[in-house]
Amino acid sequence: MELLLANPRGFCAGVNRAIAIVHQALERYQPPVYVLHEIVHNTHVIEELRQRGAVFVEELEEIPRGAVTIFSAHGVSRAIEERAKELGLRTIDATCPLVSKVHRRMIRLHSLGYDVLVIGHKGHPEVEGTCGQAEGPVHVLSQPVEIPGLRVTDPAKVGYVTQTTLSVDDTAELLKALRVRFPLISEPERTDICYATTNRQGAVRQLADAVDLVLIVGSKNSSNSNRLREVAELRQTPAYLIDHAGEIDPQWLAGVNRVGISAGASAPEHLVVEVVAWLQQHGAGEVVEMAGEEEHINFLVPDLQA
């Protein structure tokens, strides 16, 4: 049984930056340091940071007054920022710079009097943070069937932003339908779907065409990891999302000659190494790393002033 590794895979620049911010905050301010929501959506990353002294909470009211508080890579609404000030919290913003770029467009569209369509998954932290950037009409869309029921103030003044971790294929279909409904819709100069999401989906598309089974390493609540599994399945290749090697079912390997492996943007590489080791213990041999897009993007970690 041959193993093929997708390239690129795993951590993106925004995830690296967010994790580095938590590590530096712990070193500078000493534990406990509080984090509103999971800093990134990966159970192993969260547990490692928790062991170092990070405390993850779902509500600001759970945090003691004056404590150092980090906003996750997914971003938060303006209301959350204001509430943190009211509670006297010392905040550090770990929002991915590419998510912040979406926030700025959201604010600009509202300032121009546009209804804004936020294309993304309802309830996802990134979507909630984006919706909370400006006052005014906001509509969250997840699929094309929701478009006919949209009611906007002025069809000539409609713009959109997207969640950064969406399926490129699914979003293309939704945007096609939106352009029919709103011919004058304001679009970003470049897609809001981030480079890492696009690159990893492209790599899995190629991977799925070359193997009999795809394993995506990532947590169940990771949007970008779920999209990778869906990309493989759209190529008619069986695919499973696993948090770690222990979740592999040996029955999946029956009759399989080639296994493809990738990892979501919030999944650490050591988990991929463990999956490869598990498969080699169960009959796999050679490991081949596929060619792919080289990524050279790095985001500076800010000087932490909480």
Helix (H) or strand (E) holding 202: helix 195-210
Identify whether residues 285 and 204 lie together within a single domain. Answer: yes
**What count of other Cβ atoms lies within 10 Å of the Cβ of residue 125?**
22
**Domain of 272?**
2-11+194-289
pLDDT value at position 306?
Answer: 64
Number of domains within the chain: 3
Model confidence pLDDT, tens digit, residues 196-216:
999 999 999 999 999 999 999
- How far is residue 53 CA from its own chain's centroid? 24
Please give the pLDDT value at position 134: 83
* Judgement on whether residues 206 and 277 belong to the same structural domain of the protein: yes
Model-level pTM greater than 0.85?
yes
Same domain, 221 and 275: yes
SS3 state at 7: coil
- Position 297 scores a pLDDT of 92
Helices (H) and strands (E) in the chain, counts: 9, 12
Active-site residue list: 126
Q: Could you give the CA distance from residue 27 to residue 52 in angstroms, rounded to a whole number?
A: 10
- Asked whether the beta carbons of 303 and 18 are under 8 A apart, the reply is no
- Do 207 and 162 share a structural domain? no
Q: What is the mean pLDDT of residues 35-41?
A: 97
Report the CATH number that the domain containing residue 246 is assigned in CATH: 3.40.1010.20
For residues 127 and 236, what is the distance between their CA atoms, to the nearest angstrom? 30
Beta strands, E only, the chain: 2-5, 33-36, 54-57, 68-71, 90-93, 115-119, 138-141, 158-162, 213-217, 239-242, 258-263, 287-289
